[in-house]
Amino acid sequence: MSSRISRRAGGGHRWGHGGDIHGYETRNGVTEDGRSATIAVTALPGTEAGAERANAALDATLCAQK
């Protein structure tokens, strides 16, 4: 199920969701104007700060596509 998520970089929102399985994590998103990106992390973050870095990387990628 997708969620509407506020982007940190550049404002606006993205629609997307993440997924975790032992040792891996993915995050994806698409903006209102159709830009999309997916990232995969090959080691689950051990802290909330680590998880936030994955989200920040996705947001920065979506903003860089403008």
Gap between the Cα atoms of 11 and 20, Å rounded = 26
For β-strands 13-21 and 36-41, DSSP reports them as unpaired
| Average confidence score pLDDT of the chain | 81
More confident residue, 6 or 19: 19
Please state the domain count of the chain. 1
pLDDT digits (tens, 9 = 90+) for 31-47: 888 889 999 988 877 88
Domain that holds residue 36: 3-64
